[in-house]
Structure formats: structure tokens, C-alpha cells
């Protein structure tokens, strides 16, 4: 899964929220008719990464169906150069990531990666909302 490019899923983490993207995730979740069911700081092993958060979104948090759940990883970087280097490495390493139901954006010094099950239309709805909020799609 491309979301796991930079992250692992520990029970807890010392990292703090990527605050500049948390409101974007909330607005995008609302636009897609989804709820943020969890948001946890996660460790990242990428030069220049300062913080990361993994969000799980679903139409209803009482039962998380993998077919309708969307993951959004937000990774904050110390500089634009560090962010661009990480994006370039990800593009070279995962040349076929666009074949999956995954989209990636950047906003400021933050990278936002969205992933859902094949056919999950919420990925497109969230992508549209992020674009409307000023995020730039990574191709």
C-alpha cells in the first residue's frame, strides 16, 4: 500500500499533529460525507519529516468496513526541499502507485496521501475538496 511508504502503525507515538492539514482533512471528510474515526501520530523515517498523522475516515465509525474506510496520512516537513526530495523518492520507488485507489497532494510543507479500497468514490470526493482548499495534486 502506498500509504505505508513512509509510515508504520504503532499503538502510540510521540509525534504531534500536522496542524496545518488537520482542518483540510476535516473539511474534506465533511465534503465526502465521512467522519474522522481516528487520528494518531505516527513515526516516519524520511529525512526532513517533522511530524505525521494517520487518519481513518468512514461513513460511520461504529463499524469500520474496509471497503468504505479511507486512510489519510499527512506528513509535515521541515522545508520545501526536504518535502520535494521525499516526493521524488516516492515517485521513483512506487512507479505504479497511481494504479491503486491512491491520491497524493501537497500543501505548504505537508504531503497528504489518501488511500481507499478499489472503487471507493470517497477518495475522489476528498481529492476534489483538497484541491478546492488549495492543495496541489502530486502526479
Q: What is the pLDDT of residue 105?
A: 93
> 80 is written with which cell numbers?
520545501
**Span 56-113, pLDDT tens digits:** 999 999 988 999 999 999 999 999 999 999 988 887 776 665 567 889 999 989 999 9
**Whole-angstrom distance, CA of residue 59 vs CA of residue 64:** 8
> Which pLDDT band, with edges at 50, 70 and 90, does 18 fall under?
low
> 83 is written with which cell numbers?
518535502
The residues spanned by each domain of the chain are 2-137
pTM over 0.75: yes
To 5 degrees, how large is the angle CA 106–CA 122–CA 55? Answer: 60
Amino acid at each position: 500500500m502506498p500509504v505505508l511508504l513512509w509510515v508504520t502503525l504503532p499503538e502510540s507515538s510521540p509525534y504531534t499533529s500536522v496542524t496545518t492539514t488537520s482542518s483540510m482533512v476535516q473539511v474534506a471528510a465533511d465534503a465526502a460525507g465521512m467522519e474522522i474515526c481516528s487520528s494518531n501520530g505516527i513515526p516516519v523515517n524520511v529525512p526532513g519529516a517533522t511530524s505525521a498523522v494517520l487518519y481513518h475516515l468512514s461513513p460511520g465509525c461504529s463499524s469500520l468496513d474496509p471497503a468504505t474506510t479511507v486512510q489519510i496520512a499527512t506528513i509535515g516537513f521541515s522545508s520545501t526541499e526536504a518535502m520535494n526530495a521525499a516526493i521524488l523518492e516516492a515517485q521513483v520507488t512506487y512507479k505504479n502507485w497511481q494504479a491503486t485507489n491512491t491520491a497524493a497532494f501537497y500543501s505548504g510543507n505537508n504531503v497528504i496521501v489518501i488511500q481507499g479500497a478499489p472503487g471507493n468514490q470517497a477518495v475522489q470526493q476528498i481529492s476534489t475538496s483538497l484541491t478546492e482548499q488549495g492543495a496541489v495534486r502530486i502526479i
